[in-house]
Amino acid sequence: MGSGSGAVCSIQLNSVLTAEEQARYQDTSVIRRLLRESRTVAIVGLSADRQKASYFVGSYLKSEGYRIVPVNPRGGEILGERVYPDLSSVPFDIDIVDVFRPSHEALDFAKQAVAVRARCLWLQLRIVDHAAAELALSAGLSVVVDRCIKMEHGRFGGGLHAAGMNTEIVSARRPRMMKA
């Protein structure tokens, strides 16, 4: 069960950001639009280890219909997709650059995301770098910081609720049925 249109929600839990930073980098309407309108997600630092968080996120996004693009200098294939060494090697458009690398590497990937004209720079949970975020914002990208893209998709798609988690969504509106 999805949350429907116009769901009102204040996501305040589980972030190391201040309230002002949350408003800037975790805007609910921005996140919902990104998840709805994006098709291609480059996952920087996607691991081939089936028990790693990045692998869980990659396999989830793929099963939810996104095209995932592993970015990892090790190359090879992950989740049946060709691995690219960096963003500039990817020969097609990328909507979201989802970063699973330590905070101090975020700035480099922000520059790459701007260079390949990605639509969004997304730094996963506890990956926080203001310089990276501001660089991407000033180049016109949407920016999400200290959020997990799988959790956010689950929040608005109903899956997180099914797991008993607090989505912080409140809505009395009846969602539209999805097309068969």
Partner 1 sequence: MASEESRKFGFETRMLHAGHIPDPVVGARAVPIYQTTSYVFGDAEYAAQLFELKQYGHMYTRISNPTTSVLEERVASLENGTGAVAVASGMAAQFATFMTLLSPGDEIVASSHLYGGTVTQLAHALQKLSVAVKFVDPSDVSNFEQAISKKTRALFGETIGNPRGTILDLGPLSALADAHRIPLIVDNTFATPYLCRPIDFGATLVVHSATKFLGGHGTSVGGIVVDSGKFDFGRFPTIADPSPSYHGLRFYDTFGHYGFLMKLRAETVRDTGACISPMNSFLLLQGVETLSVRMTRHVANARAVADFLLDHPSVSGVHYAGLPGHPHYERARKYLPNGPGAVFTFDLAPRGVDPRLAGRKFIDALQLISHLANVGDARSLVIHPASTTHQQLSDEELRQCGVGPETIRLSVGLETLEDLIWDLDRALFAASN
Q: Compare residues 50 and 117 and give the one whose CB is closer to partner 1.
A: 50
Reduced to 3 states (helix: H, G, I; strand: E, B; else coil), residue 143 is strand
Q: Compare residues 112 and 150 and give the one whose CB is closer to partner 1.
A: 150
Q: Compare residues 11 and 90 and give the one whose CB is closer to partner 1.
A: 11
DSSP string, 24-53: HH--HHHHHHHHHH--EEEEET--S-TTSH
We find the least distance from the C-beta atom of residue 86 to partner 1, in angstroms, to be 26
Tokens (6 digits) for 97: 């650059």
The binding site for partner 1 (CB under 8 A) comprises 1-4, 6-14, 20, 23-24, 27-30, 32, 51-53, 56, 59-60, 63, 125-126, 148, 151, 154, 157-178
We find the least distance from the C-beta atom of residue 32 to partner 1, in angstroms, to be 8
DSSP string, 79-112: TTEEPBSSGGG--S--SEEEE-S-GGGHHHHHHH
**Host H or E run for residue 121:** strand 120-123
We find the least distance from the C-beta atom of residue 59 to partner 1, in angstroms, to be 5
N residues, the chain? 180
Cα dihedral 66, 144, 17, 70 in deg (nearest 10): 50
Q: Compare residues 1 and 73 and give the one whose CB is closer to partner 1.
A: 1
Smallest CA-to-CA distance from 139 within 106, 122, 117 is with: 117
We find the least distance from the C-beta atom of residue 85 to partner 1, in angstroms, to be 25
Q: Compare residues 57 and 71 and give the one whose CB is closer to partner 1.
A: 57
